[in-house]
Chain A
Amino acid sequence: MAAYRADDDYDYLFKLVLIGDSGVGKSNLLSRFAKNEFNLESKSTIGVEFATRSIRVDDKIVKAQIWDTAGQERYRAITSAYYRGAVGALLVYDTSRHVTFENVERWLKELRAHTDSNIVIMLVGNKADLRHLRAVPTEEAKAFAEKENTYFMETSALEALNVETAFTEVLTQIHHVVSRKALDAGDDPLGLPKGQTINVGSKDDVSAVKKVGCCSA
């Protein structure tokens, strides 16, 4: 391993993507998780950006490499190129704008078309702090997540509500999937030649560990 990575000690490297309509708070979810920062006046993401953070999952150090993407429809051709190799995704909508929830179905379709079928997906209703403006009932989103076999959580990047839990849950579930499988050095689903190579296993594994988590509204 090259010298510049010597301080970077981890057991697993998981690539996650943050997707969803523009303005739902993807970049702030990421900065809250990676740097514990929130910016009310953040600019739109142009193309992609990424940040990393290592956390302990069970007894392993998991390094999350999280790719934040531009939400605007016209840039999907560009951003979807970065889905490749992702083992987890947070599909974000804004609980105060129903249209962003309506678009979730298309995002999901797009995500599944570009990624491995074993990808761990969490539907994330962000801006839960805007209680007086709520436009998407928790039950509606929860039912959708159950139907689509994804995890679900409501968050507030502003209030740092459930952000840590959401990312940790996704990373833990990915870890469960991979640790139940024998390590296979010859097949690296991340497409990244570093860290320990993992195999996310067969389709059944994801549904086997699937459970719906939810915050109180």
Chain B
Amino acid sequence: MFYEKQENLAKLWDILAVYAWFDKDVGYGQGMSDLCSPMIMLLEDEADAFWCFERLMRRLRGNFRCTGNSVGVETQLDSLANVTQVVDPKLHSHLEHLGGGGYLFAFRMLMVLFRRELSFGDSLYLWEMMWALEYNPELFSLYEGGDETNSKSDTVRLKRKAIRQYGKYERANRKNQARVKPGSVSPLPISVFLVASVLKDRSDKLLTEARGLDDVVKILNDISGNMDAKKTCTEAMKIHKKYLKRQKRHSFHIPWLVSNAS
């Protein structure tokens, strides 16, 4: 085991400690080690590992942020509830009936991006697919420039050529945003759809066998080791497509959109 070596464990400790000091709003949250540990295993240089982790946290730090009586990830859990309600209403109402409407059982999957559900190799494979699907050619400048360029680039009309460079998932979001009023829908991270895909895959089992929240947690815990990263991604993309379609259909009922179209 890599982390049985004291020097490797020390690196993990260092990076997490520096990060907590670096990002005072978020600090240290349990689960960060799951996100950080692959960086240390892949990059020998401690500073490189830190900056890779820091860039990853730019996407994920919101989940760890604690405000008052809630944790940031609850926003993603709400989105997951929303997506499931749209794409699998039967499952959603069943989960709600069991008292799982808060989708807290998906907490771990979203917090550590399936690190606990998949083997080390499989989780890196999944991360790579996720990031390729979410790729945005402006990503680098977004990271370098901070939030200001972020909002500016949203309003810039995308050229046909540029859109081809986007990852498949991000492209679908961009196209969708161009259709609806710019900025009216903020895109969800692909992780939400990955969890939705996991739920959908277990939908039958959840509907027939889960008679309490404990059963839900148990059924979802049993996916450890038998989750197919590629299949989950493919299914997540389908769910995303379906979700955007339904969302579009609903948005056409909004009067101002209809008048804009005419």
Q: Which residues of A contact B (CB under 8 A)?
A: 2, 4, 15, 22, 41, 43-50, 65, 70-72, 74-75, 77-78, 81-82, 84, 191-194
Contacts and interface: CB of A to CB of B under 8 A. Distances in A.
Interface of B: 1, 3-4, 29-31, 33-34, 64, 66, 69-71, 74, 99, 102, 104-105, 107-108, 111-112, 116, 208-209, 211-214, 217-218, 221
Given A45-B30, A46-B112, A75-B71, 10 more contacts: A15-B214, A44-B30, A44-B31, A47-B108, A48-B107, A50-B218, A78-B74, A78-B104, A82-B104, A192-B211
B212 A194 contact: yes
Contact of B212 (A4, A45, A192): A192
Contacts of A41: 1, 3-4
Contact of A192 (B64, B70, B105, B214): B214
B34 A46 contact: yes
Given A22-B30, A47-B111, A72-B29, A81 B102 contact: yes
A157 B221 CA distance: 24
B92 to A, nearest CB: 18
B40 to A, nearest CB: 15
B214 A47 contact: no
Contact of A43 (B4, B33, B208, B209): B33
**Which 7 A/B pairs are nearest by Cβ-Cβ distance?**
A74-B66, A47-B107, A46-B108, A44-B30, A192-B212, A72-B30, A47-B108
Consensus secondary structure, chain A interface: loop
B69 A77 contact: yes
Nearest to A45: B30
A49 B214 CA distance: 10
A2 B4 CA distance: 44
A4 B116 CA distance: 26
6 contacts: A43-B116, A46-B111, A77-B71, A81-B104, A82-B213, A193-B211
Contacts of B221: 49
Contacts of A81: 102, 104
A81 B99 CA distance: 10
Nearest to B29: A74
Contacts of B213: 82
A75 B30 contact: yes
Contacts of A74: 29, 64, 66, 71
A65 B214 contact: yes
A43 B34 contact: yes
A81 B102 CA distance: 10
B71 A78 contact: yes
B18 to A, nearest CB: 19
Contacts of B34: 43, 46
Given A41-B4, A49-B221, A78 B107 contact: yes
Contacts of B111: 46-47
A44 B104 contact: no
Contacts of B71: 74-75, 77-78
A4 B211 CA distance: 12
A193 B97 CA distance: 13
Contact of A70 (B30, B33, B102, B218): B30
